[in-house]
Structure 1
Amino acid sequence: MYMAEFKLRFGERKWYVRRIVEASSIEEAEEKARKYAELMNRGEVSWELSYVIEAERPLMIGNDELEKLGA
């Protein structure tokens, strides 16, 4: 499983979103994420791929994550 982070821009405003990418390799995930950003750029919001990483439990906050942070 992979996770891609995108930088979105609308005028002077900027924010980030993350999406889960189904792929068998990091290269395939990056290709899919770039294509996704390209297809999403049809509106007023500009999408730009920031990075793609391998993620076991993306976007989850559980006991394991809290313990790693020293809670």
Structure 2
Amino acid sequence: MYMAEFKLRYGEMKWYVRRIIEASSLEEAEEKARRYAAGMNKGEVIWELSYVIEAGRPLIIGDEELKKIGA
């Protein structure tokens, strides 16, 4: 499982979103993320791929994650 972060732009505004990607390799995940961004770029919001990482526990905040940051 992988996670991709995208930078979205609309005029002067920008924000970031993350999506989970099902893929068997990092290369496959990056290709799917690029295709996803290209497919989403049909409106006024511009999608740019920032990065793709392997994600064992994507978007979960639990005791383990809190310990890592000392919270």
Query: What is the TM-score of this pair, normalised by structure 2?
Result: 0.97
Q: Distance in 2 between matches of 1:37 and 1:69?
A: 31
Which residue of 1 is the match for residue 45 of structure 2? 45
Structure 1 unaligned spans of 5+: none
- 1:64 aligns with 64
For 2:19 and 2:44, the matched residues in 1 are separated by 20
Identity %: 79
Shift of 1:70: 1.6
Q: Match of 1:59, as an amino acid?
A: L
| Distance in 2 between residues matched to 1:42 and 1:48, nearest whole Å | 13
| C-alpha separation in 2, matches of 1:18 and 1:70 | 24
Written as runs of structure 1 = structure 2, the 5 A alignment for 1:1-71 is: 1-71=1-71
Unaligned runs of 5+ in 2: none
Deviation by residue 1:9-67 (Cα, 9 ceiling, x = unmatched): 00000000000000000000000000000000000000000000001011110000001
